Copies of this chain bind each other. A is one copy, B any other.
Amino acid sequence: MPLRLDSAAPDFAGAFDLLVNARREADEDVSRDVAAIVARVRSEGDLAVRDYTQRFDRHDLDAGGWEIDRATRRAALDGLDNDLRAALELAAERITLYHASQRPADRDEIDAAGVRLGARWRPVDAAGLYVPGGRAAYPSSVLMNAIPAKAAGVGRLTMVTPTPSGEINPLVLAAAEIAGVDEVIRIGGAQAIAALAYGTDKVKAVDVIVGPGNAWVAEAKRQLFGVVGIDMVAGPSEIVVVADGANDPVWIAADLLSQAEHDPTSQSILFTDDAAFADAVAAEIEAQLARLATGVTARTAWEANGAIILVPTLDAALPLVDRLAPEHLELAVADPDALFDRVRHAGSAFLGRHTPEAVGDYVAGPNHVLPTGRRARFSSGLSVLDFMKRTSFIACTPASLRAIGPAAVALAHAEGLPAHAASVAVRL
């Protein structure tokens, strides 16, 4: 049974603390294995990549090919069912529109002292996109990771994906083709991340690496952070639904299960101010679980990590939501803005009764790569900013340097840096 809490109960604070601090992320320590793989790829290059790929993926890169060529990718796209292709293209179009308007504006202004100050944004030269092999490879994730890079103006986008025993996922290839991925290389694991970061003869180095992966991939990205830019650390998916009793329990149950079906470690939490509605949703979840093809996973996640929390008013749920800082927050009420205005921490919000979270996973436009595990307290979903960087600039005239330079001279001397002081003073 999922957790059932009442915020009016005397032991609520402690029980909610436990829920907030429950760790759903595996704490597998693969750091030493990953360090060894990274070091070997760095020193031996393709030889190491080929060897690891043979060993872990049972794919011979030299015999079976390093790249998946353009023709194969086009064929995967052409082989798609028409409806599915139209759906992927609609998704790509909407994601592109949303992300294109994330491009930040440059600044260039002259301030009161006469100093010209500004900042200029430019895309990185090349980005790498990791796509897992097998079950966890989703075409929607390819779109969500690749399109922001293209919208940022990245020159070369390299996708890496393991092809265990040579197996290729055609849906993923079709999505890569739609998103405009430039090259696809059949490598995975920590060795793929290391090859992208340092570059080898066969794999050109990139500047930023994004995309989900297993514990080895995540650890390799963490170890190579600083050699390249990386996206956020990803954990199990989660949803918090805040709903009043006027909702259809069938809809809300479906929303809670849409996250639960991802993985046994996924989390779904309902806040409501209506005890009868809470009961109705709980019963409806049981009914839907019984006929859901992914019911075994969803039941495991719901019973291990799910929760229904009764609050006296929905307003009272908001500080609790902020503590959870959920990846997905659904506000299923008639006036969602009144609640949303007071939410500080959430990856993405789904406003009103007609916005199921799943519409954001695929076609709404905003990114579905979002901070999990309370990381919305300090981080944001993937965006064009992950593929761009800013160069600030300063231009003084003789007069404006005379205005602000003496203060720089004073501070440099106070910090014991006389050459800093001299470089300003000689110009005054």
Contacts and interface: CB of A to CB of B under 8 A. Distances in A.
Contacts of A87: 406-408, 410-411, 414
A383 to B, nearest CB: 7
B393 A351 contact: yes
Given A251-B426, A293-B418, 17 more contacts: A84-B414, A86-B407, A88-B411, A111-B365, A229-B375, A229-B379, A251-B423, A260-B419, A348-B393, A349-B392, A349-B393, A350-B395, A356-B423, A356-B427, A361-B420, A364-B394, A381-B390
A98 B404 CA distance: 15
B389 A229 contact: no
A273 to B, nearest CB: 21
A355 to B, nearest CB: 5
A354 interface: yes
Given A111-B97, A254-B423, A397 B349 contact: no
Interface in A274-319: 288, 292-294, 298
A392 B367 contact: yes
A279 to B, nearest CB: 19
A418 B226 contact: no
Given A366-B119, A393-B349, A258 B417 contact: yes
Interface residues of A, number: 122
Contacts of A415: 138-140, 171
A33 B107 CA distance: 44
A421 interface: yes
A24 interface: no
A359 B393 CA distance: 11
A405 B356 CA distance: 9
Interface in A343-372: 343-352, 354-367, 370-371
B392 A257 contact: no
B298 A419 contact: yes
A147 interface: no
10 contacts: A87-B410, A115-B364, A229-B379, A288-B419, A294-B416, A352-B395, A362-B412, A364-B396, A364-B404, A380-B389
B225 A393 contact: no
Interface-centre pick from A31, A389, A412 (highest chain B CB count, 10 A): A389
Contact of A358 (B122, B390, B406, B408): B408
